[in-house]
A and B are shown apart, each in its own frame.
Chain A
Amino acid sequence: MSLEKKILDLNEKRRKAMLGGGEQAIEKQKAMGKRTARERITDLLDKDSFTEYDMFVEHEARDFDMDKKVLPGDGVVIGTGTIYGAPVAVFAQDFTVAGGSLGLAHARKITKIMDHALRMRMPLIGINDSGGARIQEGVNSLYGYGEIFFRNTLASGVIPQISVILGPCAGGAVYSPALTDFVFVVENISKMFITGPEVIKTVLGEEISMEDLGGARVHSEVSGNAHFFAKTEEECFEQIRKLITYIPWDNTRKARMFEPAEPKPGFDVGKIVSDDPTMPYDVKDLIRAIADNSDFLEIQEMYARNIVIGFGRLGGRTTGFVANQPNEMAGVLDVDSSDKAARFIRYCDAFNIPIVTLVDVPGYLPGIDQEHAGVIRHGAKILYSYSEATVPKITVIIRKAYGGGYIAMASRHLRADFVFAWPTAEIAVMGPEGAANIIFRKEITSAENPEEMRKKKVQEYKEKFANPYVAASKGYVDAVIEPSETRKMLLHALDVTENKSIPRPHKKHGIPPF
């Protein structure tokens, strides 16, 4: 064969491999509203930046006539490319090839790109679209999953790991996304569950649709397994591209600096919050009034809405925001919101992202369901993750900061580097009503007009303790600031903490209240 002919031959081989499961299978994929694996990669990455590896990998399975089956690329595409210039490693399961099922060669391709990402210190993005284990390959496919889970854990906190669920992801397979940092889902396309509707019907006799059991909305709203929800694959890729701009390539670096930009004039920091601590407002407006360009990338928007988490920038630096949301459940801490915030705090800490905490919290949610659901253990996660974090921690107390909620929300006592308080702040062991009822119980019950006495005592308590000055007099608050000074003070604090370094006792790892 001449060189020319060999090149022609190579190109023919490439063409065949790129066709995946063939035109019919591609049509079927499109009919489901889904793109092919390679189209997805192309849409996600910078134009012409993708380089594919292992295109010609084939399986070596023999049982069940598998030796007669050709599965191009063994049902998964791997390679590297860039997103806004940042290097990323990618794998995308190809549903058109044997339903994207995971066999030994398929798994080896995935673990190869994972190893590559970890060695070259770049983010890993996995696009999941698979019917699950390739049953014909038996225990070999279980080996494959195990090897993937192990690497997910090894890479956790070292390189960012992103999972995109663009099809079914069921059974053991869902544990890989669960071990990664961010899970992206798309309405009507993503399906995640351990046991599917069929099994549930046979075993339990309960009927439920795939969408209601493990669709995008369920995981975004109810289970909390998903972090970003999109209506189309296109929107989903835009979200991923945006996220990549906020996070560093690995845990030895900081996120890229952007040009500093003032917040948009539409958001007036002084006009969002009522001074009455019982009145609601949208804390996201407050974040937008503070953040560069009023940009805020919210994470887990629909889950545990009583706490808001996400990324913004302050003076060009990526900043993780954690904020109580008075609009939802009065911004209380509870099982789900503690879990949500704690994980995010640990993410920021692992990847050198400073944390700004906006506090307006009435405390932990009382209730039998909360106690029985383990609010002690879950609530402790916030305390643990803030205490453990060594990145810059800057806290702004907006209004109420009562009791355990005050301590938990990045207080000085958990080693916040800066604690600022607005003049509307109320830092106290509990709200004036509750406190007065306990402290002045005798006076109130023995009074001629108990209700009047109660009001009087509540007022007394309010005047004396419902303010930032008691805490400020002890140095628990570094400065009481005007709302309009918030951004300036945050920028100052981020400048001062830029090279923060604190020693910690040596340990293998802590035992957080998982």
Chain B
Amino acid sequence: MEEKEEYKTLNINSTLYKTRLSKKFENRKPFKPADPCLVRSFIPGTVVDVLVKEGSELKHGDVVIILDAMKMQNRLKTHVDGRVKRINVKSGDRVTKGAVLLEMERVAGPEAEDSEES
């Protein structure tokens, strides 16, 4: 009987089922589309060098940060044309995967296409 209390409702194709939910399901994260203005670390590592300053005007594809990870010097690039709005790291910082290292703001003009990481 005490088991009954664990049961929750799960909707599959409009039918509501009484059942337990897995941790994985309950902890799933809502999807957020990638923001091309943010330069993130695609791998955990150490920032070796920040090549730009806040306010720098950049073109899509310019290298902004060198990230040392897995014995490689990875060149992180901006995905948009625009201006550097904020730099969140300095050289020597250790960063986790997905951390926002640098934020861009678009300047007036047509939108640049997103491109692949480094």
Contact = CB atoms under 8 A, between A and B. Distances in A.
Interface in A328-364: 328-332, 336, 362-363
Nearest to A437: B14
A331 B16 CA distance: 13
A306 B22 CA distance: 9
Interface string B1-44: 00000010010111111111110110011010000000000001
A431 B12 contact: yes
A372 B29 CA distance: 12
B60 interface: no
Contacts of A277: 15
Interface string A204-239: 111000000000000000000000000000000000
A143 to B, nearest CB: 23
Interface residues of B, number: 23
A365 interface: yes
Contact of B7 (A206, A280, A432, A437): A280
B85 to A, nearest CB: 26
A3 interface: no
Contact of A402 (B13, B19, B21, B69): B13
A204 B12 contact: no
B20 A279 contact: no
A332 B96 contact: no
Contacts of B24: 336
Contacts, number: 77
A278 B18 contact: yes
Given A205-B94, A280-B7, A329-B21, A434 B28 contact: no
A16 to B, nearest CB: 44
Contacts of B31: 368-369, 372
Contacts of A434: 13-15
A245 interface: no
A205 B41 CA distance: 14
A153 B7 CA distance: 42
A329 B44 CA distance: 33
A366 interface: yes
A329 B18 CA distance: 9
A305 interface: yes
A495 interface: no
A448 to B, nearest CB: 22
B15 A431 contact: yes
B14 to A, nearest CB: 4
A203 B41 CA distance: 14
Contacts of A206: 44, 96
A326 interface: yes
Contacts of B44: 203-206
A430 B13 contact: yes
Contacts of B7: 280
Nearest to B16: A278
B91 to A, nearest CB: 15
Interface string A179-204: 00000000000000000000000011
B28 A278 contact: no
A369 B26 CA distance: 12
Contacts of A366: 12-13
Contacts of B28: 367, 369
A387 interface: no
A433 interface: yes
Interface string A13-28: 0000000000000000
A336 B22 CA distance: 11
Contacts of A369: 28-29, 31
Nearest to B13: A434
Interface string A355-390: 000000011011111001000000000000000000
A332 B15 contact: no
A204 to B, nearest CB: 4
Nearest to B29: A369
B39 to A, nearest CB: 19
A327 interface: yes
A280 B25 CA distance: 18
Nearest to B10: A330
A326 B19 contact: yes
Contacts of A362: 12-13, 15, 17
A330 B22 contact: no
Contact of A204 (B19, B25, B94): B94
B14 A332 contact: no
A362 B15 CA distance: 9
Nearest to A337: B22
Interface in B89-116: 94, 96
13 contacts: A203-B69, A204-B44, A204-B96, A278-B17, A280-B17, A280-B20, A305-B20, A329-B20, A329-B25, A330-B12, A331-B19, A332-B12, A431-B13
Interface of A: 203-206, 277-280, 305-306, 326-332, 336, 362-363, 365-369, 372, 402-403, 430-434, 437
Q: Which 5 A-B residue pairs are closest in the complex by CB-CB distance? A: A434-B13, A330-B17, A431-B15, A433-B14, A330-B19
Given A331-B19, A362-B15, A363-B13, 15 more contacts: A203-B44, A279-B18, A280-B17, A328-B19, A328-B22, A329-B19, A330-B17, A332-B12, A362-B12, A362-B13, A363-B12, A366-B13, A367-B28, A431-B13, A433-B13
